Amino acid sequence: MECKRSDRGCVAQESDRCLFITFPALVLLIVSLVFILRPPDMTYLDLLRQGDEHAARAERTAAVAAYQEAARLRSDDPIPYLRLARVYLDWGRTDDALTAVAEAERLGAREADFERLRLAIHIARADWPAVVEHAQRLLALDPTEGEARHTLARAYVELREWDAAQAEYQALLNADPADHVAHERLGALLAGADPAAIRHLFAARTDLADNLLGVLREMGTIDDPAYASALLGRACFEAQEWALAVHHFERALSHNPDFPDAHAYLGYALDQMGYPDEGRFHLQRAVTLAPDSPVAHIFLGLHYDRLGDFSAARAEYETAYDLDPTNPATCVEIGQTWAAEGRYVAAEIWLREAVSLEPDDPALWEVLARFYLDHNITTEGRGVEAASELVKLLPDDAGAYDLRGWAAFQVGDYAAAEDNLLQALSLDPMLAS
């Protein structure tokens, strides 16, 4: 019996020793497994999360670094590249965005995911033929995707393929009769040519639709189809709907090829759409048909301005000023061409002429204040004076205080600079200057 008890004791002691040895070893094994198996996954997910947080705060360099490190940890995963593409797109780095999308596609990303990103990138580049191509690919994957069809319709408008655009907007309305955007766009395309436009514009009830309805009511008393189409074009022009404006001004010229205002506005709208050669033809035609039109000369001046031909632009602006010396906008444009050539004294004369014509217009004082600030002109505190006038006119505007703060800083009045910049931040905490 003693032997048995002793044996049992020996066994118990041996078991205790085994447990004592085994338990720490087991803990070490678990800890090792955690460190060996878990950190890459955890680090990868943490990097994606960090990248997302940086991207949400527009901290793009940090976001890119986080996503690139995530891609290094998982070289076969397309997700970091898809997120990189979004950051690059928001950053305006569309070439880098396309490269990231191509890598995501190579690594097996879902076709809808990378096509959707490619579509957004080509919209940002205003590459409308490519937009058509990728929108059609998305619709081939899912014909019910309304956003892709809206984008396709818009691309057709930008390409001036009016019939194709109308067909896409009609398809959108067939799928969703309450689609206000489709009603507005289809109504705008049909206005003046198809009575159905009125029904679509009433259904849209947007600002543009209401303005076009007002023009259509006025057209009932107009016998001149060219003038009526030009009125529709002006409504679209004022809404900065350049392609729709082009549509109606082209229709106006189909009724009257020698309509100078239609040529002038068409030329400007084509310039805005990125068709400078076509635009110049119509602008020069407008000046030829109506040499006494200040608008035609201003639009032609703006065309040359965009091309960097400041001397030619100024010649057109000066002609417009001679025809209408009361327009401050013309004075501003003349002043800006002198400033672009480094002729600051001449520029200041014209910018001050603009504010003298309309001293209660804050936009003119802002242009003058920015001129002094941008070109580091501190003579007699004129920048502070201009910015102070702006603050008087806009006492609750953060941008006005921001300008006055930097104008004060420019002349060494640091206390006033601090006061004004703090006031700007109190009015708009998100202001970054």
Block means of pLDDT (10 residues each) for the chain, length 433 residues? Answer: 46 45 50 48 87 94 95 95 97 97 96 97 97 98 95 98 98 97 98 95 96 92 92 97 98 98 98 96 98 98 97 98 97 97 96 97 97 90 94 95 94 93 90 64
pLDDT at 3: 45
Residue 336 included in any domain: no
Element (H, E) at 217: helix 207-219
The HSE-up count of residue 287 (CA atoms within 13 Å, CB side) is 20
Residue 386 included in any domain: yes
pLDDT at 37: 46
Q: CA-CA distance, 425 to 417, in Å (whole number)?
A: 12
Residue 369 included in any domain: yes
pLDDT at 42: 67
Closest to 80 in 3D by CA, of 104, 115, 62: 104
Work out how many domains the chain is built from and give that number. Answer: 1
CATH number at residue 431: 1.25.40.10
Length of the chain: 433
pLDDT at 381: 86
Question: What is the DSSP secondary structure assignment for residue 74, as one 8-state letter?
Answer: S
Note the pTM of the prediction, 2 decimals: 0.82
Residue 385 included in any domain: yes
Q: Which domain holds residue 397?
A: 360-433
Q: CA-CA distance, 348 to 371, in Å (whole number)?
A: 8
Residue 293 included in any domain: no
Q: 47-51: long-range contacts at Cβ-Cβ below 8 A with a sequence spacing of 24 or more? A: 47/73, 47/80, 48/79, 48/80, 48/83, 51/80, 51/83, 51/87
Residue 376 included in any domain: yes
Instruction: State how far Cα 147 lies from the chain centre.
Output: 18
Residue 247 included in any domain: no
Q: CA-CA distance, 411 to 383, in Å (whole number)?
A: 9
Residue 417 included in any domain: yes
Q: CA-CA distance, 206 to 235, in Å (whole number)?
A: 13
